Amino acid sequence: MTAATLSRQGKNSLPPWMSPPSVWVRAVKALVIVLIVITMIYPLVYVIAMSFASPSQARAGVVFPTEFSLDAYRAIFNGGTVTQGLTNSLFITVVGTILSLAATSMLAWGLARTRQVPGAKAVLILVLATMFFSAGIIPNFMLVKYLGLLDSTWSLIIPGLISAFNMIVIRNFFQGLPEELIEAARIDGAGEWRIFLRIVLPLSKPVLAVMGLFYAVGYWNTYFNALLYINDSEKWPIQVVLQQYVLAGVQIPGAVVSPDAPPPPGVTLQMAVIVLATVPILVVYPFLQRYFTSGVLTGAIKG
Amino acid sequence: MSVNIAESPEARTARAPGPPAPPKPRKPSLRQRIWRERWAYTFIVPGALFFLVFAYVPMLGNVVAFQDYSPFRGIEGSPWVGFANFTAIWTDPEVLTALRNTLIIAVLQLVFAFTAPIALALLLNSLISERAKRFVQTVVYLPHFLSWVIVISVWQQVLGGGGLVAGLLDGMGMPGFDAMTNADTFKLLVVAQGMWKDVGWGTIIFFAAIAGIPHDRYEAAAIDGATPWQRTWHITLPALVPVATLLLILNIGSILTVGFEQLLLQQPMVGADAAQVLDTFVYFRGVMGGQWGIATAAGLLKGIIGTILVLSANRLAKRLGGEGIF
């Protein structure tokens, strides 16, 4: 029996040599898997649900709310601090992802032909070596300070502009592009930049999409660099805002529904901030997820 | 993580059959080759400069490990103190606490967090229904993409004081539950959080290895009377050994680096005795405490030991007959 005959039998049937597992084995497996799924997903569902809970149910504390209210979100958007954090993070994510993709794919294309270009191999080795060491927190801080980037949004984008790992993934993809096409364009007299922009990049949309999503998630999740480099709370990304209001327990300034109504309970406010910080990830997750199994990543990891 | 440097598209097309090649011209000189490929440097130079400035230049900043550095005086103005910062590290009780916490967490992670993805991959692989498998995968991969701030905030709402579990236990007459600030169980909590976030993500590489096992091996084993357990033990697990070795080498290299953001976020809630690790020590002592020289020395020492560890682990793996990473 070969793989071909196996796949012809349909995905959900057993190969004939395999005896069906006993009822007990199946029951234990199902139980373990249900427990894992609940552990993974219930905390998130609980936080989302509680952010919409009515004030009385939130104060009482329930396993799952049955009365709902949008007060927490109204109060947060009235307050302005969280909105500012979301705006900052959106800027960092959009601008950072575009710049990262541009810089990473340029370097990847330059290093794709190591054999022909003198010195390219040396650059490649220098880039790869950075995956195995890091200068450390304080030297990085000193560099950012020296460059005058402290308290600037750019300090959250520029120092991490190119990830060596992502560069290698894109480079691998470029090396698999049909060389005839690029050679033909070259013979037709197209310049190298034109070839890069008009042929290489359009053909590489799948890998650029994956790497773009990975960069975007990284920028959205930026926390420590912002803590280190940014003092001005007006410029904080959402992760630092979240840490302040949820973990450090600082009150959200101005978070009221209206001047005379009592403010929503702190717990729903906290849950709502968590949800707002998580939603963008949940939105891109289905797109990300489509690519996990496509082999783009595992192929890169295995080299 | 070996990367094929030599194989370029040109190299492959050069071997492809085509019209007979014209007589070989003389090999161009280096200067001619550089001039011919001059466009390539417009792609390479900006990126190369980036890595030079943001990965290699900061290495030079480590010289402050040998100084009584202060940001006001700068590197030029700070006095040199030789190895005084390094000798100060050995007598600093906080460093010893940080080192002990780091090593305990790292060992717990090796025991639990390193093995869990293998177990989960085997379990999911044994599912017959493709749809069930894909659903579970979708669920378990998700937390990997959430930031540590979000993960800890969510855990706080569930396991913290005033959280979901505390409320339930309170209703049953057991008040005062708060897993998030309990210093005694904190190290296990750190490992559990790490597993919640990354156990699913960790299975991906093992799935790739499992997918590469030829089906006829299982068939032959089944015909010879091997039980499902025996097939897993003698066919699937051995096929995972190379990948597991590779990951183990990388893990050993980062044994002194345990979840920096995760620990930094929770240290205020649990206290330095239980939650100080080497990286948080560098941050609190240097950036917050102003003792830049000692903190940098500790960071530098940690980096050097990490590099030595990964190189030794790599050599050991090769000597034991496995594959290294380089």
- CA–CA distance, A54 with B237 (Å, rounded to integer): 51
- For residue B156, the chain A residues in CB contact (below 8 A) are 246-247
**Coil, helix or strand at residue A238:** helix
pLDDT of residue B158: 92
Give me chain B's average pLDDT, please. 86
Q: How would residue B322 be classed by pLDDT, with cut points 50, 70 and 90?
A: low
> A104 near A211, Cβ under 8 Å?
yes
Q: Amino acid letter at B116?
A: A
Q: Phi and psi for A53 in degrees, rounded to 5?
A: -70, 150
Question: A23 in contact with B at a CB cutoff of 8 Å?
Answer: no
Domain borders along chain B are: 84-319
Q: Amino acid letter at A298?
A: T
Structure tokens at A76: 């947060």
- For residue A138, the chain B residues in CB contact (below 8 A) are 61, 64, 282, 286-287, 292, 295-296, 299
Query: Which of B69, B85, B153, B270 to substitute to test the interface with A, most A CBs within 10 Å?
Result: B153
Question: Chain B: nearest CA to A79, how far in angstroms?
Answer: 20
Query: Which of B146, B249, B282 to substitute to test the interface with A, most A CBs within 10 Å?
Result: B146
In A180-209, the residues whose Cβ lies within 8 Å of chain B are 180, 182-183, 191-193, 196
Size of interface A-B (CB pairs under 8 A): 309
Those residues whose C-beta lies under 8 Å from the C-beta of residue A94, and which sit 6 or more positions away, are none
Structure tokens at A177: 């592009």
Q: Across the interface, which of A103, A143, A270 has its CB nearest the CB of B61?
A: A143
- The full 3-state SS of A125-193, as one line of letters, equals HHHHHCCCCCCCHHHHHHHHHHCCCCCCHHHHCHHHCCCHHHHHHHHHHHHCCCHHHHHHHHHCCCCHH
For the segment B110-131, what is each residue's pLDDT rounded down to a tens digit? 999 999 999 999 999 888 788 8
Mean pLDDT of B249-261: 84
- For residue A115, the chain B residues in CB contact (below 8 A) are 6, 8, 10-11
Q: Across the interface, which of A17, A168, A301 has its CB nearest the CB of B205?
A: A301
Question: A64 in contact with B at a CB cutoff of 8 Å?
Answer: no
pLDDT of residue B14: 45
Closest C-alpha among A242, A243, A238, A226 to residue A151: A226
> A121 near A203, Cβ under 8 Å?
no
Q: How would residue B252 be classed by pLDDT, with cut points 50, 70 and 90?
A: confident
Please determine, looking at this structure, whether the domain spanning B84-319 carries the CATH number 1.10.3720.10.
yes
Question: A291 in contact with B at a CB cutoff of 8 Å?
Answer: no
* Nearest-5° Cα angle at B188, A274 to B105: 105
User: Where do the DSSP E strands lie in chain A?
Assistant: none
- CA–CA distance, B51 with B193 (Å, rounded to integer): 33
Q: Which long-range contacts (CB under 8 A, 24 or more apart) does A161-164 make?
A: A161/A96, A161/A99, A161/A100, A161/A103, A161/A104, A161/B50, A161/B54, A162/A100, A162/A103, A162/A104, A162/A107, A162/B47, A162/B50, A162/B51, A163/A100, A163/A104, A163/A215, A163/A218, A164/A127, A164/A128, A164/A130, A164/A131, A164/B51
- CA–CA distance, B197 with B142 (Å, rounded to integer): 8
pLDDT of residue A300: 46
pLDDT of residue A281: 92
Span of A155-159, A202-206, B168-172, B249-253 with lowest mean pLDDT: B249-253
Span of A164-168, B176-180, B225-229 with lowest mean pLDDT: B225-229
Place of tokens 């980037």: A149
Structure tokens at B47: 């990126």
- CA–CA distance, B181 with B160 (Å, rounded to integer): 8
Q: Phi and psi for A198 in degrees, rounded to 5?
A: -95, -25
* Nearest-5° Cα angle at A40, B244 to A66: 180
pLDDT of residue A7: 43
The tally of CA atoms less than 13 A away on the side-chain side of residue A248 is 12
Q: Across the interface, which of B40, B264, B268 has its CB nearest the CB of A113?
A: B40
Those residues whose C-beta lies under 8 Å from the C-beta of residue A205, and which sit 6 or more positions away, are none
| Interface touch A40/B142, C-beta < 8 Å | yes
Whole-model pTM? Answer: 0.87
Q: Where are the alpha helices (DSSP H) in B67-129?
A: 74-77, 84-91, 93-108, 116-125
Question: Chain B: nearest CA to A225, how far in angstroms?
Answer: 10
For the segment A228-259, what is each residue's pLDDT rounded down to a tens digit? 999 999 999 999 999 998 888 788 777 777 77
Q: What is the CA radius of gyration of chain A?
A: 25
The pLDDT of residue B321 is above 60: yes
Q: How would residue B243 be classed by pLDDT, with cut points 50, 70 and 90?
A: confident
Q: Across the interface, which of A18, A123, A224 has its CB nearest the CB of B264?
A: A224
Q: Across the interface, which of B59, B168, B286 has its CB nearest the CB of A135?
A: B59
Q: Amino acid letter at B181?
A: T
- CA–CA distance, A107 with B40 (Å, rounded to integer): 9
Place of tokens 């090769």: B318
The pLDDT of residue B101 is above 90: yes
Question: Chain B: nearest CA to A66, how far in angstroms?
Answer: 15
Task: Print burial letters for B223-257: b (CB count within 10 Å at least 16), e (below 16).
Answer: eeebeeeebeeebbeeebeebbbbbbbbbbbebbb
- Comparing B147 with B31, which gets the higher pLDDT? B147
pLDDT of residue B187: 95
* Nearest-5° Cα angle at A201, A195 to A207: 150
Q: Across the interface, which of A130, A192, A248 has its CB nearest the CB of B51?
A: A130
In a structure prediction context, what are the per-residue pLDDT tens digits for chain A, which is 303 residues long?
A: 444 444 444 445 666 666 677 888 889 999 999 999 999 999 999 999 999 999 888 887 788 888 898 989 998 888 888 999 999 999 999 999 999 999 999 999 999 988 888 899 999 999 998 887 788 889 999 999 999 999 999 999 999 999 998 999 899 889 988 888 888 988 998 888 899 999 999 999 888 988 999 999 999 999 999 999 999 999 999 999 999 988 887 887 777 777 777 778 888 999 999 999 999 999 988 887 777 655 445 444 443
Taking the CB of residue B82, how many other CB atoms lie within 10 A of it?
9
- For residue B34, the chain A residues in CB contact (below 8 A) are 118-119
Domain borders along chain A are: 72-302
**Does the ipTM exceed 0.90?**
no
Q: How would residue B15 be classed by pLDDT, with cut points 50, 70 and 90?
A: very low
> A3 near B121, Cβ under 8 Å?
no
pLDDT of residue A261: 75
Closest C-alpha among A194, A176, A175 to residue A185: A194
Place of tokens 């680096």: B257
For the segment B292-307, what is each residue's pLDDT rounded down to a tens digit? 999 999 999 998 898 8
Architecture in CATH for domain A72-302: Orthogonal Bundle (1.10)
Nearest CA in chain B to A41: B139
